Amino acid sequence: MSSNLLEKYSNLNLSIESIDSLEGSERRDSATSDITVSDSKDNLSILEKNIDNIITDSCLAAAFDKYSISDAPNNAGIVRTPSGETPVENFMHPFIESFNSKLKCLSDRIYMLNVDNLIDLMTFYYGPQNPLDDGLFPYLHGLKDSRSRIFFNSGFKNSNGDQFAVEDFPHLDVEHFPAISQLHMMFLNTQEECGDFQLNNSVSYEEFVDCSNAYIEDMNNEVCGELNNRNYKNQLHVYSKMCHLVLYNNTNNLNVNLNKALELNTSNNIYIVNFNNRLWNIIPEHFTNESNFESIHQLPINSINNQVFNCQLLKWEQNLLWKFNSMKWFNRNVCIGNLIDYNYLANIDHNFEMIINCNEYCKIPKSIGEYSEFPSSGYLHFEHMNLADIINFLNLLKTIKALHDRNKQVFVFSFDGFTGLTTLTLAIGMMLSDMSLEEVIMDLYSTKNLKFYYFKSDLIFLKKMEKFINYSKRQVGMIKFINYNELETPKVRGDLDWFNYNKDNNFPCNIHKNIYLGSVNHANSKTVLNCMKFNKIVSVGSKPQWLDIDGHKPVFQYKNKQDEIISIYDIKIHDEGLPYLTSALYIDNLKDDGKDEILPLLIEVPDHIQLKYLSNPDQSMKTFYHCQIGVSRSASLVIASLMRFQKLSLIESYMITRINRFNIIIQPNLRIFYDLYLYENYLNSLKGRSRSYTWYHLCNEIFKLNRNYIE
């Protein structure tokens, strides 16, 4: 944009017509917009209103039945889109109509915001008078290709399964938008270097444009792609189509903001923050230096070795990993910890006679000193070891045992405090006891609050080393040679149904206090259930093989939007093979397909039933949650339990669950995660609190966090 044009725009007394005539060639073409929205002002009760099927084509329309739930709490902070509501082209929210009338208008749908205007907008947007929509699915799935548009439309029934002819559905390439009642906003920082001081829930303009371009490119290249119900990557673009946009930058550069506004192709409003950024300090609740996610915990460190974090959640994840996996005692003389613990010890006087650093850059030490290094878990393979390596390994273990027996202390650490040191720690456990490898693992899980993760190759290696470790315990002094005739094959316990060294043998994860999370494989194993001494099991969608529901009546039932029955069973357990387990709660037919919701379980089911599957971590009952894998449905109930009983936010609960479910990435499907987002707003509304972050920003941060593990 020219400087002359900037001068003209800076004169707020200019008429709209004169600005339009000056810049007609650069104005946004609002006629090309494809966003349609609808008003839902009277939708105050989730019990009385029901979502209409958000169809991808009018020829596939089908209405949903209402939930058959009679005993439920008031659903504050959530609005159901009414049945039969039709999206309306260019619907204007009543607040926006009134709000815009008070603003300086620069061009068609481009407005200027002063301090008071921004306060009014943010107060309404985040406040209770702007409840969240529950009618945004399946739209938020993206629906980029024919397969997803058909699959996520519950009204479509296809007897041929995945086989269909695209030409039979000529309108499936038309993008349809949900009927909405919420005011949706998005905040864009137009400077390349956004700086630390930003509007809450901001994304950079470049990131926004890149996401939109990538979405369009994917859409052009994808005719009938793979179904994806965890489309966090595209939420920034998909959600933006419903949003009015707020543009700003840290230097209050109006020229930059106006140019960016004119580049955007949207029929929604664009608001430009136009007041001196020194005034931002008078409304600190709307700006942040560290973002609203900072409240997760007091963080011990921002980075290490000048590590650059490309998203806030990655930094907080690393910090929480270090915090949760700080120094713990393996036994009275062996302590395990992480790199932060070692850095702390290096600067103080301590009582450790030996420190061992487990990392991926070293080999088994030939000599042993006060500081030694040992290969990280996952890097040792028996077939790659020679006799000298075996002897050196055994002598390291014998040195640790000698120190232990003399009441001297040993510190073993790795970068994160659990994955890298597992192999050595389990070997130490065998050296210091008469237990087998399996018994050491079960003892650690049943008696100590320690976290371990071992690869399949770790257990294969340790099982092959077990006879050498047992041999070394019978020898006096250091090992100089091995008499293979004296090696004894370890005995195998026949009563264990868990340890299969061709599969993942990790145990369920302790998420918080008495709440644990795992998979249906864990639930099928009586070895695991007895070792962990679980008192209650919550099964979601997948039940253990030993659990028989025949003859039991559900304690509650309701219909999902596909008109399918979801049943909740509460079964008392009287099994001599499971002496610690007293009850099993089974939620039948709740699928991880991106269609089924968990919101009814969280706010519509009677509270005395909810308390059967939402666990208070402070209670004494040790509860194990699982679904098929333990990353979506059951993980979401764990997250909801933390939100309700520990008074944690969604992002806090998600990060705690994710970090402690360390051997797999927790990722609920979008439909379920959005239900958790609604549930947080529901809980906040009951306490009179406003929400602090937005759906698009939350999903975008999670996508950037996950990208570090998949790229």
SS (H, E, C) 558-602: EECCCCCEEEEEEEECCCCCCCCCCEEEEEECCCCCCCCCCHHHH
**Is the domain of 138 the same as that of 124?**
yes
pLDDT digits (tens, 9 = 90+) for 205-247: 999 998 888 777 666 565 555 678 899 999 999 999 999 999 9
The pLDDT > 90 percentage for the chain reads 61
Segment 40-66 mean pLDDT: 26
Report the distance separating Cα 420 and Cα 338, nearest Å.
9
Pair (494, 514) in one structural domain: no
Q: Are 250 and 90 in contact (CB under 8 A)?
A: no
Percentage of the chain exceeding pLDDT 70: 79
The string of DSSP letters for 466-488 reads HHHHHHHHTSSSS-S---GGG--
Shared domain check, 435 and 313 = no
Instruction: Flag whether 611 is in a domain.
Output: yes
Helix boundaries (H) for 432-570: 437-447, 456-473, 520-524, 526-532
Note if the bond before 138 is cis, omega within 30 degrees: yes
Residue 315 pLDDT greater than 80, yes or no: yes
Tell whether 128 and 267 lie within a shared domain: yes
- Amino acid 196: pLDDT: 62
Instruction: Mark which of 279, 301, 324 sits at the end of a domain.
Output: 324
Same structural domain for residues 398 and 409? yes
Residue labelled with tokens 């120190």: 403
Do 491 and 556 sit in the same domain of this protein? no
pLDDT in tens, 620-667: 899 999 999 999 999 999 999 999 999 999 999 999 999 999 878 899
Q: Mean of the pLDDT values across residues 252-281?
A: 90
User: Which of 482, 506, 530 lies at the terminal end of a domain, its last residue?
Assistant: 506
Cα separation of 36 and 38, whole Å? 7
Asked if residue 279 has pLDDT above 50, the reply is yes
**Residue at 303 is within a domain:** yes
Last residue in a domain, options 487, 506, 525 = 506
Domains contained in the chain, number? 4
Q: Assign 80 a pLDDT band (cuts: 50, 70, 90).
A: low
Which CATH number characterizes residue 191's domain?
Answer: 3.40.250
User: Domain check: are 438 and 494 in the same one?
Assistant: yes
387 in the same domain as 453: yes
Q: What is the pLDDT of residue 211?
A: 87
Please state, rounded to an integer, the average pLDDT across all residues of the chain: 82
List, in sequence order, every residue forming a beta bridge with 571; answer none if it has no partner.
584
Q: Is residue 635 part of a domain?
A: yes
Residue 573 sits in a domain of what CATH number?
A: 3.90.190.10
Q: Which tokens sit at 459?
A: 């257990």
Q: How confident is the model at residue 516 (pLDDT cuts 50, 70, 90)?
A: very high
**Structural domain harbouring 296:** 290-324
Residue 425 lies in a domain: yes
Residues 539-590: pLDDT tens digits?
Answer: 999 999 999 999 999 999 999 988 899 999 999 999 999 999 999 999 999 9
The answer to whether position 32 is within a domain reads no
Specify if 164 maps to a domain: no
Q: Is the pLDDT of residue 291 over 70?
A: no
pLDDT confidence of residue 181:
82
* CA-wise closest residue to 413 among 438, 377, 385, 455: 377
Q: At residue 53, does pLDDT exceed 70?
A: no
**pLDDT tens string 123-174:** 999 998 999 988 898 889 987 777 777 777 755 544 444 454 545 554 444 4
pTM for the complete prediction?
Answer: 0.84
Residue 302 — very low, low, confident or very high, per pLDDT cuts 50/70/90?
A: very low
Same domain, 372 and 276: no
268 in any annotated domain: yes
The verdict on 484 and 411 lying in the same domain is yes
Q: Per the domain annotation, does 104 fall within a domain?
A: yes
Give the residue-averaged pLDDT of 468-495.
Answer: 94
Examine the domain organization and report whether 609 and 462 are in the same domain.
Answer: no
Does one domain contain both 559 and 702?
yes
